[in-house]
Amino acid sequence: MTQRDGDGIEPDADTTRLVRLPATLHIGHPPTTEEDTDPDATGTVVTPVQDVSAPTTDAPDTADAPADEELPAEAPADGEPTAEASADGEPTADASADGTVPMTRPAAIGVAMAVTPSTEAEPAASQEEAAPEQAAPQQVAPQPAPAKPRTLGGRVGALVASAPKWVPVLLVLEGLAMYILALKVPPGPLRGVDPNDIDGLGLISALPTSAFIAILIMIASFFITVVQSSDRKFLLLLQIAAITFALHGAGALVATEPRFPTAYIHAGFVEFISRTGESAISIDARMGWPGFFALFAFVTQAAGISDLTTILQWTPLVSNLLYLLPFVLILRQVVATTRARWFAALLFVLVQWIGQDYFSPQGFTFALYLAFVAILLRWFGRVEPRTKPVPRKGLRRLLGKLDAMTPGELANTGTFRADKLLMLLMLLALFVASVASHQITPFMMLGVVTAFLIFKRTSLSWALPFFLGLAVLAWISYMTVGFWSGQIDAIFGGLGRILQNLRSNTGDRIEGSDPAHALVLKARLGILVVILSLAASGLIRRLRRGVFDRSALILLCVPVLALGLQSYGGEIGLRIYMFALPGACLLAAYAFFPNLPADSADVREETVPLRNRKLRVNPELTRKISVALAACFAVLFAFAFLLTRYGNEKFERVTTGEVAALHYIYEHDKPSAKVLYLVPKKGPEVTPILPWGERDVELVNFGGQALVHKDPARIADAVQALKEQPRNSYLIVSRGQVSYLQLNEGFPDDWGTKFRAALDASPDLKRVFSNEDAALYTWKKFVRGTEIPDPQPYKGRGDPTSPWTPVGIGALGVTWVALFAYEIICLNGRKRARKTRKRLLFLAVPAFLVAIAVIVERFIYIAQNN
């Protein structure tokens, strides 16, 4: 007769039970994660299995085990991964810090050990009957956990064993401190930056060797962390943030004044709105989209900030750190390995060289664009497997095969309706803020939403793109009349001219005269070619594994459609590159790490078959090669970034002397003033290479141009241009303008010094301000009684209108209300409240057509009458 033990389990008398091991004793290999899973040639997942020398017996229940005791895991069976992973390929919360997973059953160890008797004693007769030849089992006391090593050798061994945890942290901190010291200390051997050393290659020509070593250390720290089994999110974010600081903060560390001259005019718009409480599109067309400027005017006024110098100085770095947050959320919604995601985030930092992240509406709305896409994927993502059979032939067969592939995105499941409603309101808020702040960003948002609907990657309805598109047209028609009323051709003249717009953004930008600077311009196109090539390779590698990344492809391709709009002053190519980066970086990361997470049933082998399909490279070797190649490309992109981003540093950096010259003008601009800047040829799209417009944008006119020649003695055209201007007009000669003429127009190296000497010798000019970096000249003699003219009055509201405008405004309101209500109902499901949705459509469609008709009528009527 047998009796149940204390745990309710009936033991077998012929079976030897095992003793639980202490928590600190681990036997066999620890469980692996997605990156350690070796796929074999057949596509199945193979994990290292522990060699068991004795058969496994029934393990005792662990209900009475100590709470802090961790048991070794069982050997995996049938190729299943030993570490649990979530849907996005990351270990679940049950995994411990070192990557091991506590299990409830101990592994067999093949060692005969005595058992612990049960809590209830069995009768002696039963014991003798069950095992007459065996002695009574002897109770084994639990073994205490080994104490921490007290000897020096033991401590050193423990420190070395824990190196994977603290070495990456030490390296990134060391590299960051080394980089800051390399740029901030006084110039000397292998340290410090002397601005006078900057040549046609830009800032990279003046950086010390220690700065490059520091960047290498930080990149090495990142890849050391990436190849580890555990996903250390905080450390990886810290490492990418440190690399971002080193690359995008270099200008702020070196420069004494905020770099990039155009940032100063944006500060002037903020100052004007803060001082007057209104925007004036008659002063500058950018005032027609005042959302960004009004926001900072409110913030600075509320905080009591009167000097924006510090904000302008660090905006590029803060902007790029801000871009990382929504981009990481986008990466969380793709089906990819941990290495692919974090490498894509690093690429996003390394190839963001175009410099649109300064204090500008474009830099601000790009962050809104990334947040917009992240919300679309996270809360309104849609992934539906194909149920229709694939056609047998033709183009439909190819499209059907693509549609039947494994989606590269995660589906949104388990979101409450209230959360979706809140996120829908957030989407609308982000879009409206972009509409009021920038001309191009809303079209990028609208294109992404429309493409997601076409390719069935969002659960939203078609009411949303019509709602958003009408908002863009309404803003242009009703709020920017002062801009387009007299320049219809400037707005619509570039529509459809794809080749011409492409030429103005590529070929025209590499025609530099200085050989070193021409290398910078060609390197920018080289980065574009390399990143697009890697993106194409990553897309192909994912397709070979049966994965179709629609969302990444949409984010890459939609911005290219902007080439059909207009040249945007020759800068539409830069905007396209900027908006295409999220999709390009994600696909480029797949070129190195194309596999799916280990918990997916669609894991493909890492290697690609050679000529003989039976001949394959060791998967572990290919993983090491992939990491090594990714690290090499990361280093290449980092150094190329310093060349391309700061290649214009010789004329884009702003000196204290140039700022002082402009401040002299602001102090003498009552009631008005005018500034003439140097140009090699006169034209409407020439931007002053000056820190212009920081204050008094309605009083100082920066529209004057003075023609100069390569011969510094030919000053007649510049003198005549100044003579034709009214009193209180200034001709400015600055370091930035001279550097621009030298690098882009082939002016001699000593042109600036000789040109200023010629102006000083002119009997008609008078120098009123001078320092090492800038000089101001005015007309020496004026006719007696000549007064300084009053500034041109700026216009606020009161724009021209048309007779049908009130009808259009009413139709806009009805359309937006109906479409918004329709979208809210669709949040419950496409099959809910069909009659109500039909009634809303019957109301929205006629109102939409009326609103569009009035917008067209306003363009025609106002343009003809102005």
The confidence score (pLDDT) of residue 572 equals: 79
Listing DSSP states for 225-280 in one string gives HHTSSS--HHHHHHHHHHHHHHHHTHHHHH-SS-S-THHHHHHHHHHHHHHHSS--
The pLDDT tens digits for 24-72 are 334 344 444 444 444 333 333 333 444 433 344 343 333 333 333 333 3
Predicted local confidence at residue 139, as pLDDT: 54
Taking alpha carbons only, the member of 798, 800, 799 closest to residue 861 is 800
Report the amino acid identity of residue 764.
D
The phi and psi torsions of 734 (rounded to 5 degrees) equal -130, 160
Q: What confidence tier does 498 reach under pLDDT thresholds 50, 70, 90?
A: low
Integer-rounded Cα Rg, in Å, for the chain is 34
Query: Mean pLDDT, to the nearest integer, of 491-520?
Result: 60
The predicted model gives 576-588 an average pLDDT of 95
| Sheet with 673-679, edge to edge strand ranges | 700-707, 673-679, 729-734, 774-779, 765-770
> What number is the average pLDDT over the span 654-665?
95
Q: What is the mean pLDDT of the chain?
A: 79
Q: What is the mean pLDDT of residues 147-161?
A: 75
* pLDDT mean over 553-578: 80
Whole-number percent of the chain with pLDDT over 90: 50
What pLDDT sits at residue 131?
Answer: 43
pLDDT in tens, 702-721: 989 999 999 999 999 999 99
Number of CB atoms found within 10 A of residue 236's CB = 21
| Stretch among 141-145, 284-288, 331-335, 406-410 having the lowest mean pLDDT | 141-145
- Per residue in 380-398, pLDDT (tens digit) is 988 877 777 777 777 778 8
pLDDT (0 to 100) of residue 492: 57
Lowest mean pLDDT among 199-203, 338-342, 481-485, 622-626: 481-485
Cβ(675)–Cβ(733) below 8 Å: no
Distance CA 637, CA 589 (A): 13
- For residue 712, whether the previous peptide bond is cis, meaning omega lies within 30 degrees of 0, is no
pLDDT digits (tens, 9 = 90+) for 112-121: 333 333 444 3
Q: What's residue 688's pLDDT?
A: 87
- Judged against a pLDDT cut of 60, whether residue 253 lies above it is answered with yes
Q: Which of 808, 591, 553, 595 is nearest to 33 (CA)?
A: 595
**Which residues is 547 bridged to in the sheet?**
406
